Structure 1
Amino acid sequence: MATHLYRIGKFAYRRKGTVLSIWLAILVLMGVGAATLSGPTNDSFSIPGTPAQKAQDLMSERFPAAGKDPFNSLSARFVFAAPEGQTLATPANEAAMDATLAKVRTIDLVEPAAKVDPSAPAAGSDPADPAAGQHSAALVNPVVANDGLIKMVTEQAEKSGKPVDQAVADAEALSPLSPDKTVGFVEVPFSGSHTDVTTELTDQIDAAAQVARDAGLTVKLSGTAAQTQEGPGGSTELVGMAVAAIVLMITFGSLVAAGLPLISAIIGVGIGSLGITVATGFTELGSMTPTLAIMIGLAVAIDYSLFIVSRFRHEMTVTDNREEAAGRAVGTAGSAVVFAGLTVIIALVALRVVGIKFLSDMGMAAAFSVFVAVLVALTFLPAMLGLFGRKVFAGKIPFVKAKDPESGSVKPGPAMRYANWVARVPAVPLIGGVLLLAVLALPATGLKLALPSESTGDPATSSRQAYDLVDEGFGPGRNGPLLVVVDAKDATVPAPEAFGTVLQTIKDQPDVTNAQVIGMNPAGDTAQIMVTPSSGPTDARTVDLMQSIRDSEAGLHEKIGVNYGVTGQTALETDVSDRLQSALIPYLAVVVGLAFLLLMLVFRSILVPLTATVGFLLSVAATFGATVAIFQNGWGGMIGNPQPLVSFMPIFLIGVVFGLAMDYQVFLVTRMREEYVHGASAKDAIKIGFSHGSRVVTAAALIMISVFGAFMAEPNSFIKSIGFALAAAVFFDAFIVRMVIIPAVMALLGDKAWWIPKWLDKILPNVDIEGEKLRRELPAELPEEETVAAR
């Protein structure tokens, strides 16, 4: 491989005009494609095959007129609260709510049925009856809706001979007015999808709410139509790149050399992000997908270019032929870049094992960005080296002494002195590093997971305040009812009897405040049962209730042939957690297995890949601990709204961290492998390899930390937490695992670190990442002392 990359590097350097033109043409084509072929992002949420989704699919099939998927539909909830000492059931407060709803009806995207003015009764109705003649979907204030509902169910109960008290209790469980009449809400349905939510729409919704606020009511807004999607702020990438620029200037002591990795990263990330934008025209992608791809692509693009430019600087000390130096830099450091990129890509693509579409999309998009970053580093960067020629290291920065980390200086530097100490007493750094990471990992034992919802939102937001008002006025269960969809198509008893049996079974469960049939399909064989728990949607008691209802299905099916499913927020979160938990082991097996094989090819060793994997487990455990401590437990006061972590964050984090962890393993240990293959003893190889690679790995890690850490400024809570977690993971892995634990372990193992069974060594292809074959093919005119110095 080193030989092939060597030729690619020389070609790109020599044919710089052609190579740069091709990349710029690709960038332009991607830009044109993004402008003409892109489609809207879609943040709809569904996980095919889960029990909650099956119940939702059954409801959509049997109740086509019932509307859209409640998890993905567009709506806004207006929550009204009366001034202290008053109720909403006063003429002035009712008039204020009516004025707000009148303004809501003027919004274009409000569904036509909801725009019907309830003050204009239908033909044949009694105008004196405030509940009469109203269209079923018309918007009415909570007081009128409550009165009409109570009157209707009372009349129906009296006519049918059913208990009036039970009918009224059921009506109150569905009423939009709280029992003390101080809190009420109105659900406003909107046409369109999440992509139709614009600042203009949210401003119109807020302006309607302001009418009631001006009249003295408290009005809070929630729902998908009332809040714009939180996208990337744009400044975060600039902050990360600014810090990266400073690190690069210190590393190279040159403005031009520092700019090359940044230019390469901009081209790579530009092509990657535009390519993802083009993909939105052909498949549905979430709004967070491009942000995560940019975050990861930007970090690796700078790092990969940094390694090659650093190696190019070293090669310039052993040859005056700049084309030759570029070829050698790409052949040696480029080999490490290829394998490091492959480990990241494997970890990201393997997210498809989880079986959750938006998670797979994130992984594929980020993997594409990494793939582009690798190609840019191997071809665009050497072409840029050719373009600048002898001015690559021009623009010297005063007071910055950028020593070549791979120079053969007789005087040992700090890295060499540290490596000597580790080789002399390896047990001390090994035990210290492991204990430190173990302590950092302790908070992870209290890890809690949840899907983003209004209950986990920032208390300063209107949506969270709306949630809290409903919780206080109606009870916690009203914010997260369970919906049971009962299929009596194959029941052995009449459908009404089957529905009644299921309903009574649910009512007999603990923690049920109310359960009632809220609708039947035209065929009469399917019913919807709304279950209001006495606990909130994320409460363990609600989870137990949901599971108990599901567990009862088998007995009822055997008894009367009825089937049903449970959906709702609690059911959805539980199913996501179960899906992620069941996918974790297969995912780790695929990622770790493939990466282990890849690392065996790179290092020709069994123990080095094994120690690399164990080191990853330590760093990811410490990362979880730090993230839980800050984002869930609120340590340090960095987060104003500590909440459980997003449920799919751990598996995504594991995949990304594994790939990044192997980056530093490859970059640092291949240098040790190179020295060992060229005749150095095992301990000397550790010392020389560490002293050569530690400076550039340190710079690379600082760049990644700055890029990821900058994303903590994003408003989206998931992006914020993943940015912190990735920055922490890079810190723990690069500075504790790869620079403390791994050298200590390898010093303890000695020659055994590079042991591999002879039969396995024979069957494994020789990828020559250390460039041994390349060295034999170097131009014959090179003096012998230059070849020795290159070691």
Structure 2
Amino acid sequence: MFSRWGHFAYNHRRIIPLIIVAAILALYFGFGTKLGERMSQEGWDDPGSSSTAAAQIEMETFGRDNNGDVVLLFTAPEGTSFDDPEVFSAVSDHLTGLREDNPGEVSHINSYFDTRNPSLLSEDGTQAFAALGLEGDGEQTLRDFRAIEDQLVPESLPGGVTTQVAGATAVADALDDGMAGDILRAEVYALPAVAILLLFVFGSVVAAGMPLIVGVLSILGSLGVLSILANITQVNVFAQSVVTLLGLGLAIDYGLFMVSRFREEMDKGSPIPQAVATTTATAGKTVVFSAAMVAVALSGLFVFPQAFLKSVAFGAISAVGLAALMSVVVLPSIFGMLGTNIDRWSLRRTSRTARRLEDTIWFKVPSWAMKNAKLVTAAIVLVLIGLTVPLVGVKFGGINETYLPPTNDTRQAQEDFDDSFAAFRTEPVKLVVTNADNNQLIDIYVQANEVEGLTDRFSAGATTDGTTVLSAGIIDRSMNESVIDQLRAIDVPEGVEVYIGGTPAMEIESIEALFEKLPWMALYIVVATFILMALVFGSLILPAKAIIMTVLGMGATLGILTLMFVDGVGADLFNFSPGPLMSPVLVLIMAIIYGLSTDYEVFLVSRMVEARDKGASTDDAIRYGTAHTGSIITAAALIMIVVCGAFGFSEIVMMKYIAFGMIAALILDATIIRMLLVPAVMHLLREDNWWAPGFIKKAYAVMGHGSDGPETTGPTGPTRPLDEGEEVTIHEAVPAEETVASRSGRSTAEDEELVPFAELMSRLENKRRSGDSD
């Protein structure tokens, strides 16, 4: 199938790119440019939780609680206080003008300067605050804030009074700005850096430009798809950063594999049409199945109830799918037009066929690992388990101002306000009580005030016949779980309903929902990827090995992240505050790491399977696959690390977490796992690597694996003959029992004139280089 598509792409090489590029541009300019206005800041909660029900009842009964939207914290200069009539009047006039000039955005303002309520003034009289409620609901709240943002801090107040801006909407705006900066940083820094790296890898301007074309088209297309989705369902603003990170990195990686295989085919002297077909049938097929692995891992996020995870999954899957589509649809057609011009505008003139595979580090390191297989396996497994140990100390929380850098103005304002006016925290815990009479309400109120960890007693925020909202602050976020558990233990009178709401309850219930669904996500991903890899590899042992190694690598990565983001290793260097992690982000990084690890595993092992299908022994196939893919997979990992590095400088902790998680996973996967652990374990498994029941082998053959050229019958099933000059130049001696004939069942006497596989490959290679056509 893939080979036929390669021929079709060559025969229509001029029209296919035009159609695809036109479609992508129409998608982006028709929808993608409107993405910013369609994104949501919401979607972190569990829709079926008590906190969501509490918020819904409160909204329907009393309207949105907007008291904590924006907080203006005023500080008098040293030696003065807000009892000074001139200072008092100036601030009061500023707030009055703010309300009168923005009737469509400002709902109300509660402040010390209106009521002279002493609880709104600090004990020493040097700090006071004003709480602004915004008119809009949902995403309109953020638009209202941005409409008045420039007016919040007056140009001058008498005596040098300073004004700080805090509040839930102000924090949300700061987080949104940080994510927008991530996209800009990727465009301004990551793309040029990747272009330079591709030039170094390929040595040719034209070849280096091919993966960039795939990357740019994939991002434009995925933003268009994300915009369409945002018009239908809730898409969190955070999804755009994740889509850009994954889409750009994987698209360039896939393009890199396609270009490398095409140049390899051209180096063999293959005619251009055949080179395009072979590239599509080998690298193209691997790209499609690798993308499927990543998509399956990300689709596991649909198991969870949070709209945030669903929206990220939608966007990331569309980005990965478009990256694979661009690679196998657009690039083969461009290859057909370029031909030998793929090496046009070369910056360095080197012969890629001058060195033997066995002279490369990608051959020598796996060979050493196989010679010391037991020691290497035991040592690496112990190292990975050791790196996993810090994960035991992981802590979870919610999104708040601590996800901003310590130097961020909004974060500092929020922390100053919380310290000075703890009883007015903008994240109160709430009790929404329905169907209670006065006596029952008093009983609940008394029990609630016995809870430990509150900043003050519960107060009645709103009351109607049958529904009452009680609210109180929590001394510290670390006590959220304890307070919620105590509130759940309240003895509720029969017939009365008590819903625990507010941000603290939402965070705790979100964590509980995630861990309830996590086993189902894990089961789904493992089973689905196992089936896919079994079909790709024609084996049941190789998928099992891949999943075990992926879990080991994931555990080590999460342990490293816990050391950094919970325990604080590197916090000062990378400008973030350690603390609890958002549980949805942990689940997201697990899906991403799993997808990336299986992605690279498919690229590596597919080349081993390809060699095995041509008759190679197990050890020869391991060396062949690692040596042929080593430099390319390493380059792909470096490119992804460069892209992740741009996001590692994000102002948002959750984005740093994902970026550094991917970097750690890539480094582990591209070094000790792929170069050492995979060869060592496969050497120990020997012939068991290739075992599968008959129906798996049949499915493997039906899907076209191992049959991209003219078919013959080989020792492991349908195979194709070696292309002239195929580089399997492995010169180590092979025992007589490992000859092709002996593996196919012939007797020893019949084998006397047969040569080992490696020696046969060496002879073919020497003939090609000497120009002998016999």
TM-score normalised per structure 2:
0.86
Out of 589, 603, 606, which is 1:653 matched to? 589
Equivalent residues in 2 for 1:577-592, closer than 5 Å = 577-592=511-526
SS of structure 2 residue aligned to 1:11: helix
| 1:392 equivalent in structure 2 | 342
Flag the 1:67–1:182 CA change in 2: closer, same or farther, 3 A: farther
SS of structure 2 residue aligned to 1:657: helix
Equivalent residues in 2 for 1:128-143, closer than 5 Å = 139=109, 141-142=111-112
| 1:545 equivalent in structure 2 | 483
| 2:619 equivalent in structure 1 | 683
| 2:755 equivalent in structure 1 | none
Out of 527, 543, 549, which is 1:593 matched to? 527
Give the AA of the match of 1:26: A
| 2:466 equivalent in structure 1 | 525
| 2:446 equivalent in structure 1 | 504
Give the AA of the match of 1:530: S
| 1:638 equivalent in structure 2 | 573
Do the aligned residues in 2 keep the contact of 1:252 with 1:402 (CA within 8 Å)? no
| 1:629 equivalent in structure 2 | 563
Flag the 1:320–1:297 CA change in 2: closer, same or farther, 3 A: same
Quote the Cα distance in structure 1 between the aligned partners of 2:341 and 2:287: 25
Quote the Cα distance in structure 2 between the aligned partners of 1:97 and 1:434: 64
Quote the Cα distance in structure 1 between the aligned partners of 2:87 and 2:351: 72
Equivalent residues in 2 for 1:19-418, closer than 5 Å = 19-34=16-31, 39-45=37-43, 46-61=45-60, 63=61, 66-68=62-64, 75-84=69-78, 86-108=80-102, 111=105, 114=108, 139=109, 141-142=111-112, 144-147=114-117, 175-192=119-136, 195=139, 202=146, 204-210=148-154, 213-226=157-170, 227=173, 229-230=176-177, 231-233=179-181, 234-398=184-348, 401=350, 403=352, 409=356, 412-418=359-365
Do the aligned residues in 2 keep the contact of 1:515 with 1:529 (CA within 8 Å)? no
Quote the Cα distance in structure 2 between the aligned partners of 1:603 and 1:36: 41
Do the aligned residues in 2 keep the contact of 1:197 with 1:225 (CA within 8 Å)? yes
Quote the Cα distance in structure 2 between the aligned partners of 1:402 and 1:502: 81
SS of structure 2 residue aligned to 1:518: strand
Do the aligned residues in 1 keep the contact of 2:110 with 2:131 (CA within 8 Å)? no
The offset of 1:575, in angstroms, is 1.0
Do the aligned residues in 2 keep the contact of 1:78 with 1:186 (CA within 8 Å)? yes
- Structure 1 vs Structure 2 CA RMSD: 2.8
The offset of 1:198, in angstroms, is 7.9
Equivalent residues in 2 for 1:484-499, closer than 5 Å = 484-488=431-435, 495-499=437-441
The offset of 1:617, in angstroms, is 1.4
Flag the 1:388–1:81 CA change in 2: closer, same or farther, 3 A: same
Out of 535, 548, 565, which is 1:614 matched to? 548
Flag the 1:502–1:314 CA change in 2: closer, same or farther, 3 A: same
| 2:11 equivalent in structure 1 | 14
Give the AA of the match of 2:49: T
Do the aligned residues in 1 keep the contact of 2:365 with 2:676 (CA within 8 Å)? no
Quote the Cα distance in structure 2 between the aligned partners of 1:716 and 1:517: 34
Provide Cα deviations, 1:481-502, integer angstroms capped at 9, x if missing partner.
21111012xx5xxx11111110
| 1:155 equivalent in structure 2 | none
Provide Cα deviations, 1:763-784, integer angstroms capped at 9, x if missing partner.
6453556433534299xxxx97
Flag the 1:504–1:677 CA change in 2: closer, same or farther, 3 A: same
Identity over aligned pairs, percent: 27
Do the aligned residues in 2 keep the contact of 1:454 with 1:464 (CA within 8 Å)? yes
Do the aligned residues in 1 keep the contact of 2:281 with 2:708 (CA within 8 Å)? no
Give the AA of the match of 1:508: E
Structure 1 range deviating more: 365-374 or 542-551: 542-551
Give the AA of the match of 2:481: V
SS of structure 1 residue aligned to 2:128: strand
Do the aligned residues in 2 keep the contact of 1:712 with 1:723 (CA within 8 Å)? yes
Quote the Cα distance in structure 1 between the aligned partners of 2:424 and 2:130: 18
The offset of 1:274, in angstroms, is 2.4
Quote the Cα distance in structure 2 between the aligned partners of 1:741 and 1:330: 29
Out of 752, 756, 761, which is 2:692 matched to? 756
Quote the Cα distance in structure 2 between the aligned partners of 1:680 and 1:784: 12
Does 2:607 align with 1:671? Answer: yes
Flag the 1:631–1:520 CA change in 2: closer, same or farther, 3 A: closer
Structure 1 range deviating more: 323-332 or 75-84: 75-84
Quote the Cα distance in structure 1 between the aligned partners of 2:144 and 2:311: 29
Flag the 1:520–1:498 CA change in 2: closer, same or farther, 3 A: farther
| 1:130 equivalent in structure 2 | none
SS of structure 2 residue aligned to 1:739: helix
Structure 1: gaps (5+ residues): 115-138, 148-171
Flag the 1:365–1:592 CA change in 2: closer, same or farther, 3 A: same
| 1:452 equivalent in structure 2 | 399
Quote the Cα distance in structure 2 between the aligned partners of 1:476 and 1:460: 25
SS of structure 1 residue aligned to 2:594: helix
Do the aligned residues in 2 keep the contact of 1:100 with 1:209 (CA within 8 Å)? no
SS of structure 2 residue aligned to 1:385: helix
Quote the Cα distance in structure 2 between the aligned partners of 1:109 and 1:224: 20
Provide Cα deviations, 1:657-705, integer angstroms capped at 9, x if missing partner.
1111111110001111111222111111111211111111111111111
Do the aligned residues in 2 keep the contact of 1:265 with 1:298 (CA within 8 Å)? yes
The offset of 1:585, in angstroms, is 0.9
Does 2:701 align with 1:766? Answer: yes
Give the AA of the match of 1:726: M
Flag the 1:569–1:196 CA change in 2: closer, same or farther, 3 A: closer
Equivalent residues in 2 for 1:413-432, closer than 5 Å = 413-432=360-379
Quote the Cα distance in structure 1 between the aligned partners of 2:384 and 2:650: 28
SS of structure 2 residue aligned to 1:472: helix
Quote the Cα distance in structure 2 between the aligned partners of 1:36 and 1:296: 20
SS of structure 2 residue aligned to 1:232: helix
Quote the Cα distance in structure 2 between the aligned partners of 1:386 and 1:203: 53
Equivalent residues in 2 for 1:433-452, closer than 5 Å = 433-452=380-399
TM-score normalised per structure 1:
0.84
Structure 2: gaps (5+ residues): 714-719, 729-774
Quote the Cα distance in structure 1 between the aligned partners of 2:632 and 2:367: 19
Do the aligned residues in 1 keep the contact of 2:402 with 2:577 (CA within 8 Å)? no
Give the AA of the match of 1:712: G
Flag the 1:320–1:478 CA change in 2: closer, same or farther, 3 A: closer
Quote the Cα distance in structure 2 between the aligned partners of 1:214 and 1:92: 7
Quote the Cα distance in structure 1 between the aligned partners of 2:13 and 2:455: 73
Flag the 1:500–1:439 CA change in 2: closer, same or farther, 3 A: same
The number of residues matched between the two structures is 712
Flag the 1:433–1:769 CA change in 2: closer, same or farther, 3 A: farther
Give the AA of the match of 1:544: S
SS of structure 1 residue aligned to 2:38: coil
| 1:5 equivalent in structure 2 | 2
Do the aligned residues in 1 keep the contact of 2:32 with 2:223 (CA within 8 Å)? no
SS of structure 2 residue aligned to 1:459: coil
The offset of 1:587, in angstroms, is 0.7
Do the aligned residues in 1 keep the contact of 2:711 with 2:721 (CA within 8 Å)? no
Flag the 1:319–1:113 CA change in 2: closer, same or farther, 3 A: closer
Flag the 1:622–1:428 CA change in 2: closer, same or farther, 3 A: same
Flag the 1:638–1:437 CA change in 2: closer, same or farther, 3 A: farther
Provide Cα deviations, 1:188-230, integer angstroms capped at 9, x if missing partner.
1222356557899658545443356553323211125544522
| 2:677 equivalent in structure 1 | 741
Flag the 1:13–1:467 CA change in 2: closer, same or farther, 3 A: same
Give the AA of the match of 1:452: I
Do the aligned residues in 1 keep the contact of 2:136 with 2:144 (CA within 8 Å)? no
Quote the Cα distance in structure 1 between the aligned partners of 2:113 and 2:593: 54
| 1:709 equivalent in structure 2 | 645
Quote the Cα distance in structure 2 between the aligned partners of 1:297 and 1:436: 31
Flag the 1:37–1:628 CA change in 2: closer, same or farther, 3 A: closer
Provide Cα deviations, 1:735-782, integer angstroms capped at 9, x if missing partner.
222222111111111111222234x5366453556433534299xxxx
